[in-house]
Amino acid sequence: MAARRYDPERRQRIIDAAIRVVGANGIAGLSHRSVAAEADVPLGSTTYHFATLDELLVAALRQTNEGFAKTLAEWLPEEGGGDLATDLARATGEWLAGDRTGVELEYELYLAALRRPALRPVAAEWAEETAERLATRTDPVTARALIALLDGICLQVLLTGASYDEEYARQLLARVIP
């Protein structure tokens, strides 16, 4: 019997590989086999750590959600200070100006929750955490309205290939903020 290799980073490498596979081939291209090949691990390792593809997608969505959350944390300090519409428009622009593939991937995984119920709680967690962060600077109802508006703006930019217009976003966001 061969000795098992100690590989504490394997689970994380599998998640990272799944994100790369979905980024390159979409969710339709995701399989245990494609992820194992990308992560350079035995096929059994992917199924050991993630019995189903939905479990793997949940882990990938959790990890990708950290991108926007990190940008918001940097650009929207909880104690406030600046104009919320300006700060939020700038944070969104910073996020969209980053790794475009990563942004597209975040939305692809987020929207996959429409067809994959296992992803819905993670998508809901992201919305809830974002609303809580925004609610430190406005009321909870406005915070949720801002999330909906930002989702619409971001999807329009991603789907049309249009450039993000920070001033336009600021004006729209200002209309929602009391």
Break the chain into its structural domains and give their ranges: 8-51, 58-176
d(CA 72, CA 83): 14
What is the pLDDT tens value at each position of the chain, 178 positions in all? 344 566 779 999 999 999 999 989 988 999 999 999 999 999 999 999 999 999 999 998 888 887 777 777 777 776 666 799 999 999 899 888 877 777 888 888 888 888 999 889 988 888 898 899 899 889 999 999 999 999 999 999 999 989 999 999 999 999 999 8
- The fold of the 58-176 domain, in CATH, is Tetracycline Repressor; domain 2 (1.10.357)
Give the distance from CA 161 to its chain's centroid: 19
Q: Write phi, then psi, for 82 (nearest 5 degrees).
A: -95, -175
Same fold flag, 8-51 and 58-176: no
Instruction: Report the pLDDT value the prediction gives residue 8, as an integer from 0 to 100.
Output: 78
Structural fold of domain 8-51: Arc Repressor Mutant, subunit A (1.10.10)
